[in-house]
């Protein structure tokens, strides 16, 4: 951490800041320039809230040198992490595709789609039971019944299942019946939920918040990991910008960035980012090309009658063709699919 | 709602869309231009999820005419709503100031600050017990003890108290002991929490999310109101932009916008938006000038030793002087303080 | 265009709006709902400034149905446009790579890099002569001398050259000596410059502005095309968001979006978007996978001593290896490179 | 400037970086922590392009301590600057109001509005002659004739005039006939134009770009000042965010920020930010309350027939009433109007 003192500060003010920091066990290295004096603060500053220093009038700026996350930080864990989902590895050489409908609607629908996507190469079945909807008047998902149907689809196809959790009081049921617990973008900073998920050992898919920086996203992963659960899969799903032709702006540069900063696997959700099915295919290809460890794609056998987000769902045939194309791109970047 | 058909669509495709909508009880008015055919959809479309239509390849665009919120909509409730907090009215001619420390720290601190801000004209005491922090390693608030201390401060000063809730399992305690329940920016779309708060009749202060549009913010209010609780106070606290000199960009134009679109009272939090105490004063003045119904301001008697956000806290003396200046501005815009 | 009238508007106000529009030669189709009356406006509304209607108090909203651009609009020009640069086709099956240093620095540097990138498959040589720099104290490019050196490099290698123009008074020189004239992001809405470029018949590479919507970008292309110059190549180079780990956020979803909305070719600049050389490779691959018609990549033979943006430049060897990988990805999406 | 070296860098790499910087005349102060080594760089780093260092693989981060602008920096010019516009002082105790139509349309219009706004207290007349329009098909202003009419309006009323320049080839005419030359948001980084304006001694009103940071805005001021022209007035006019109810998001916190960082006067344009006349009044009041040195407001005597931006124009009567309210708010913040 670096403390930049304002110019012309009396010596006693400087001393006050220095003693404060030394009192907390840090060492101070000084660097005096024409206009500014810098204090390099040496020691474990990750747990120190540097905002506390901003209160001092004699301080111009406080700058952090080290990232505030530890367990999620590649510096302290140089090898890639691999998360095991009932034998499916997320994060290794293999690219993992999760596919299925936005919402679980009926037994026929979810089992039908599950069989289709399995045959086409998906390794995990997705499907929403509890749906976060902007409007209280929209369909909110089949809820508990949806979980039951997902369980049946798993029994029939053998595919592990991923579905979204929306409140901590459901954790017990999710731990029992679900293979990957998804935390949606809107709950990325629902810290109470993250803390509770940190107490389980289930794989967690943590979506990036609509306006979360990469650092905040990794800090949310850190919340789960600080509780003892290292099975975190990150998921980029688009950020909010001024552009409104697309629902969100898929930030594919976040993939190499996260790979540099962290050891956690990172997958991409092209369906929610674009909001339009015809854009899912090129974005899925780009996601594999840029280095994602997996994809989560909406597939529906009857998008016109989907209860939710039909417009961004692929039909199974298109999904099948896409999988073929993705294999070639995976090969071109040294991966398998 | 308006459906814009793509050019050159065969008649049977048009018919399919028309019958679909008529089957849902809507009337269709056609308008045929050189390049586009429009279907004006007449009926109560608020509960209809227009994304469903995006799945049809023959449709170019779907555009909403009416806002998707009803209970929060000024169209159906032309007079300003006033929320009563233990006799303090939020939303009328009077401007309400809520003040207090970021975090409750000790009995002396919270009672001392409460007495100071009461004397200077604050009508409600703020203080954080449960603190949403970006880092799991930061101080997370005194939690239950914090609530106890706030209750004591209320007993001593008579000021109603506002504090933030972070999870639905604490609602019972909050309903019992707190006068305004604050929903933080990060929980603005924690829909499960909003639904539970909708079942109470407590005043709720709903902060705008970091990247929430005004419409999404009002839809979150709608979640609470749809459950039967109309006591919603909105709070603008800055949005995220590319500018990083300030912590957030306080969107003061949101105040007249919300006043136009909704009947709910709206207050401003200049402390969190700016993140720097010296900016709180001009922003508070601007908030009153722009038409806010109140302010929520951080005041600490010893910012240098605050456990949280000391840098954005005013000392009581500055707060007192600010209150004097605000009175004059309130007068200039036809309000009282 | 659709005009939404406010509820409860007296008939004479409605008539006033209708006669206004009819007076301008438009036809009006009415659609009356419970809360709103809609006027569908039929006729060529592209040249009509719909903001003019916002002044009427009786109007709630004005919504456009048709895009405001015509010459750049795929609706009126369904086939892909191909821009010919001295025989190099930009926009067809072939993916075009433009490569070279950020700035032209010396004869040896520009000719050396030109020979390298030519050998590795680049089709066009890039190099900055006039440099837009945020600081007036930074190196501003070799200017006229830079153009001379580019011309020499072209003479030696036969590669057509692309370089950025910064003011209209240099157009004559650029038309004489340059093969593609680049308009930088900061000049995307320098309308006077665009108008002048519209009077030439040179290929123009139009970078997207830092916060330009896709529509505004296409409207800037329209400025050039309205003047009679259809040789416009679009270039996505990252937009500004709250994320600051990357210099800009490369918006790869803009590629399929632009391909849907317009017939113009679109290329990607991964170097400026990322600002870090190690991110250029994955982003370049993703750009090809997502459907870009070309790439513009910074290559420098001695990045450590580059006068500008060395950190985002690839060394020739890396560029050569990248070209090999890109060939495979191009094949997987039905393109050639 | 601070250079943060990556962990575990061999001593010879460190030496290379140190010698490089010492070779440029800087002094290096080291600070060695457990994970990082810092080099504090002492000397005049403002003219050094720190991006150059990002090319070194052994460097983790480079952080600037001092702002990159000098002439615009309050550190080197602690007193407020006051710009003299034909005797009207912009930047002192007095708040300056500039008012007039978006576009100059006719002699009657501009002289009529000029007389109205003068009588109501405006000190400078605004009016667009050259209009930057998103569409090439929109009205582009009366151009040279517009300048002639502004000159007449000045002759009749004695009000100094401000109008926007769009290209460097018109500077001579502007210097001759205009009192304040406005640089629009879209030209904020048209560096060639800024350089030419730096060679004049005319007051320049520099609007903030749509997505410009405060630092970039001050760097654009620095471009003008570096050429020798210190008469720069800054103008906040709203930034682009995801919110689209308002045309732009007026960033009023930029006013106290700019006042802290720079000595230049700063005014606010509430008309362009909001895009709706009914929002201009509250935003104008907030701008005065937050500490702006002036306002630039659109006033039109017949908004319904305005050729441009009528929807955001105030009628003279409303403008007159607003001026009365602003006087009281000015008084409350220690200013005069």
How many angstroms away from the CA of A201 is the closest CA of chain C? 31
What's residue B275's pLDDT? 87
ipTM: 0.95
Within 8 A of B32 by CB-CB distance, chain C residues are: 29, 42
| Residue C48 clears pLDDT 90, i.e. is over it | no
Task: Tell if the CB–CB gap between A36 and D65 is shorter than 8 Å.
Answer: yes
Residues of C with CB under 8 A from a CB of A: 211, 213-215, 239, 241-246, 249-257, 260-261, 273-274, 278-279, 282-283, 285-291, 325, 328-329, 331-333
Pairing assessment for the beta strands B37-42 and B27-32 based on DSSP bridges: antiparallel
What's residue B310's pLDDT? 77
Cα–Cα dist D182/D166, whole Å: 9
Q: Count B/C contacts: CB-CB distance under 8 Å.
A: 62
Of A243, A282, A328, the CB nearest to C290: A282
Q: pLDDT tens, B248-305?
A: 999 999 999 999 999 999 999 999 988 889 999 999 999 999 999 999 999 999 888 8
What are φ and ψ of residue C77, in 5° steps?
A: -160, 75
- What is residue B39's three-state secondary structure? strand
CB-count burial class (<10 Å; 0-12, 13-18, 19+) for C176: exposed
pLDDT grade for A311, boundaries at 50, 70 and 90: confident
How far from the centroid of its chain's Cα atoms is residue D136's Cα?
25
**C261-299 exposure pattern, b = at least 16 Cβ within 10 A, e = fewer:** bbbbbbbbbbbbbbbbbebbbbbbbbbbbbbbbbbbbbb
Listed range (A44-48, A185-189, C129-133, D84-88) with the worst mean pLDDT: A44-48
Task: Tell if the CB–CB gap between D325 and B332 is shorter than 8 Å.
Answer: yes
What are the residues whose beta carbons fall under 8 Å from the beta carbon of A2, sequence distance 6 or more?
Answer: A38, A39, A40, A41, A62, A63, A64, A65, D2, D38, D63
Of C68, C169, C310, the CB nearest to D169: C169
- What is residue D206's three-state secondary structure? strand
What's residue B189's pLDDT? 97
What are the residues whose beta carbons fall under 8 Å from the beta carbon of D73, sequence distance 6 or more?
Answer: D67, D218, D261, D262, D263
Quick one: average pLDDT of A40-57?
A: 82
Task: Tell if the CB–CB gap between C38 and B29 is shorter than 8 Å.
Answer: yes
What's residue B30's pLDDT? 86
How many angstroms away from the CA of A42 is the closest CA of chain B? 18
Share of chain D above pLDDT 90, in %: 77
Within 8 A of A172 by CB-CB distance, chain B residues are: none
CB-count burial class (<10 Å; 0-12, 13-18, 19+) for B65: buried
Within 8 A of A289 by CB-CB distance, chain C residues are: 282, 285-286, 288-290, 329
How long a stretch of residues is chain C? 337
Asked if B249 contacts B262 with a C-beta cutoff of 8 angstroms, the reply is no
DSSP letters of B68-113? S-STTBGGG--SPP-EEETTEEESSSBPEEEEE-SB---HHHHHHH
Kindly provide the residue ranges of all beta strands, DSSP E only, lying in A37-135, ordered along the sequence. Answer: 37-42, 59-63, 83-85, 88-90, 96-100, 124-126
| Residue B131 clears pLDDT 90, i.e. is over it | yes
Cα–Cα dist D28/D39, whole Å: 6
Of A7, A31, A65, the CB nearest to D75: A7
- What is residue B139's three-state secondary structure? coil
Q: pLDDT tens, B299-315?
A: 999 888 877 777 889 99
Listed range (A297-306, C4-13, C45-54, D52-61) with the worst mean pLDDT: C45-54
Share of chain D above pLDDT 70, in %: 100
Question: For chain A, what is the mean pLDDT?
Answer: 94
Max CA separation in chain C (angstroms): 76
How long a stretch of residues is chain D? 337
Closest residue, chain D, to A26 (C-alpha): D33
What's residue B104's pLDDT? 97
Within 8 A of A40 by CB-CB distance, chain D residues are: 31, 33, 38, 40
Cα–Cα dist B128/B103, whole Å: 4
Closest residue, chain C, to A292 (C-alpha): C282
Cα–Cα dist D151/D161, whole Å: 8
| Residue B46 clears pLDDT 80, i.e. is over it | no
Q: pLDDT tens, B186-197?
A: 999 999 999 999
User: Quick one: residue A151, left, alpha or beta (phi over 0 = left, psi -120 to 50 = alpha)?
Assistant: alpha
Of D211, D243, D328, the CB nearest to B251: D243
Within 8 A of D135 by CB-CB distance, chain C residues are: 47, 49, 68, 219, 222
E strand or H helix at A259, and its extent? helix A254-261
Cα–Cα dist B126/B116, whole Å: 13
Within 8 A of C306 by CB-CB distance, chain D residues are: 52, 55
Token duo for residue D194: 């800024």
| Residue A192 clears pLDDT 80, i.e. is over it | yes
Task: Tell if the CB–CB gap between B286 and D289 is shorter than 8 Å.
Answer: yes
Q: Which chains touch B (3 or more CB pairs under 8 A)?
A: A, C, D
- All domains in chain C, ordered by first residue: 2-63 (3.30.70.1140), 74-332 (3.20.20.70)
E strand or H helix at B283, and its extent? helix B277-290
Asked if C330 contacts C95 with a C-beta cutoff of 8 angstroms, the reply is yes
Task: Tell if the CB–CB gap between B2 and C38 is shorter than 8 Å.
Answer: yes
Closest residue, chain C, to B239 (C-alpha): C242
- What is residue C240's three-state secondary structure? coil
Quick one: average pLDDT of A3-15?
A: 88
Cα–Cα dist A331/C285, whole Å: 12
What's residue B45's pLDDT? 79
What are φ and ψ of residue D227, in 5° steps?
A: -80, -10
| Residue A39 clears pLDDT 80, i.e. is over it | yes
What's residue D183's pLDDT? 98
Closest residue, chain B, to A217 (C-alpha): B134
Quick one: average pLDDT of A180-209?
A: 98
Task: Tell if the CB–CB gap between A65 and D4 is shorter than 8 Å.
Answer: yes
How many angstroms away from the CA of D77 is the closest CA of chain C? 19
**A57-75 exposure pattern, b = at least 16 Cβ within 10 A, e = fewer:** ebbbbbbbbbbbbbbbbbb
Closest residue, chain C, to B44 (C-alpha): C34
Task: Tell if the CB–CB gap between B253 and D283 is shorter than 8 Å.
Answer: yes
Quick one: average pLDDT of D143-168?
A: 98
Best mutation target among B55, B210, B225 (most A Cβ atoms within 10 Å) is B55
Alpha-carbon torsion angle D29, D31, D37, D38, nearest 10: -50
Quick one: average pLDDT of D110-126?
A: 98
Residues of D with CB under 8 A from a CB of A: 2, 4, 7, 29-36, 38, 40, 42-44, 61, 63, 65-66, 75, 240-242, 244
Token duo for residue C20: 């206004």
Within 8 A of A56 by CB-CB distance, chain B residues are: 304
Task: Tell if the CB–CB gap between C306 and D211 is shorter than 8 Å.
Answer: no
User: Quick one: residue D125, left, alpha or beta (phi over 0 = left, psi -120 to 50 = alpha)?
Assistant: beta
Within 8 A of C252 by CB-CB distance, chain A residues are: 250, 252, 283, 286
**B123-135 exposure pattern, b = at least 16 Cβ within 10 A, e = fewer:** bbbbbbbbbbbbb
Token duo for residue C326: 């890109």
What's residue A52's pLDDT? 80
Cα–Cα dist B82/B294, whole Å: 12
Question: Greater confidence, B146 or D65?
Answer: B146
Sign of the dihedral through C-alpha C59, C61, C65, C67: positive
Question: Greater confidence, C200 or B38?
Answer: C200
Within 8 A of C40 by CB-CB distance, chain B residues are: 31, 33, 38, 40
Q: pLDDT tens, D66-110?
A: 899 999 999 999 999 999 999 999 999 999 999 999 999 999 999
Task: Tell if the CB–CB gap between D35 and A75 is shorter than 8 Å.
Answer: yes
DSSP letters of C37-80? EEEEEES--TTS-GGGGGG-TTEEEEE--S-S-STTBGGG--SP
Residues of A with CB under 8 A from a CB of D: 2, 4, 7, 29-36, 38, 40, 42-44, 61, 63, 65-66, 75, 240-242, 244
Of D242, D245, D329, the CB nearest to B289: D329
Question: For chain C, what is the mean pLDDT?
Answer: 94
Task: Tell if the CB–CB gap between A190 and B195 is shorter than 8 Å.
Answer: no
| Residue B175 clears pLDDT 90, i.e. is over it | yes
Share of chain A above pLDDT 70, in %: 100
Task: Tell if the CB–CB gap between C136 and D195 is shorter than 8 Å.
Answer: yes
Within 8 A of A290 by CB-CB distance, chain C residues are: 282-283, 285-286
Best mutation target among C213, C250, C278, C290 (most A Cβ atoms within 10 Å) is C290
Closest residue, chain D, to C242 (C-alpha): D241
Task: Tell if the CB–CB gap between D252 and B286 is shorter than 8 Å.
Answer: yes
Of C54, C68, C211, the CB nearest to D240: C211
pLDDT grade for D180, boundaries at 50, 70 and 90: very high
Eight-class DSSP state of B301: S
Q: Which chains touch C (3 or more CB pairs under 8 A)?
A: A, B, D
Question: For chain D, what is the mean pLDDT?
Answer: 94
Token duo for residue D214: 């405060």
Q: pLDDT tens, D227-255?
A: 999 999 999 999 999 998 999 999 999 99
What's residue D47's pLDDT? 74
Task: Tell if the CB–CB gap between B38 and C2 is shorter than 8 Å.
Answer: yes
| Residue C51 clears pLDDT 90, i.e. is over it | no
Q: pLDDT tens, C135-160?
A: 999 889 999 999 999 999 999 999 99
């Amino acid at each position: 951490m670096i403390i930049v003192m304002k110019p012309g500060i009396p010596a006693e003010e400087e001393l006050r800041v220095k003693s404060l920091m030394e009192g907390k066990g840090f060492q101070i290295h000084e660097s005096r320039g024409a206009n500014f004096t810098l204090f390099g603060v040496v020691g474990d500053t990750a747990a120190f809230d540097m905002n506390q220093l901003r209160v001092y009038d004699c301080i111009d700026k406080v700058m952090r040198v080290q990232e505030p996350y530890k367990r999620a930080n590649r510096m302290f864990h140089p090898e890639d992490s691999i998360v095991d989902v009932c034998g499916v590895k997320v994060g290794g050489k293999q690219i993992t595709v999760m596919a299925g409908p936005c919402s679980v609607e009926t037994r026929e629908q979810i089992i039908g789609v599950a069989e289709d996507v399995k045959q086409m190469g998906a390794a995990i079945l997705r499907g929403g039971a509890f749906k976060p909807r902007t409007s209280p008047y929209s369909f909110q998902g089949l809820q508990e019944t949806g979980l039951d149907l997902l369980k049946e689809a798993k029994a029939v196809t053998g595919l592990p299942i991923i579905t979204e959790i929306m409140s901590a009081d459901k954790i017990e049921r999710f731990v029992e019946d679900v293979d990957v617990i998804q935390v949606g973008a809107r709950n990325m900073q629902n810290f109470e939920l993250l803390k509770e998920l940190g107490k389980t050992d289930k794989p967690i898919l943590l979506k990036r918040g609509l306006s979360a920086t990469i650092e905040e996203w990794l800090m949310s992963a850190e919340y789960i990991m600080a509780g003892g659960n290292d099975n975190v899969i990150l998921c980029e799903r688009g950020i909010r910008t001024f552009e409104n032709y697309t629902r969100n702006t898929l930030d594919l540069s976040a993939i190499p960035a996260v790979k540099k900063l962290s050891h956690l696997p990172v997958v991409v959700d092209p369906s929610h980012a674009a909001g339009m099915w015809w854009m899912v295919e090129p974005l899925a290809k780009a996601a594999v090309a840029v280095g994602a460890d997996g994809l989560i794609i909406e597939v529906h056998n009857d998008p016109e009658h989907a209860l939710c987000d039909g417009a961004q769902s692929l039909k199974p045939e298109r999904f099948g063709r896409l999988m073929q194309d993705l294999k070639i791109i995976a090969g071109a970047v040294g991966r398998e699919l």
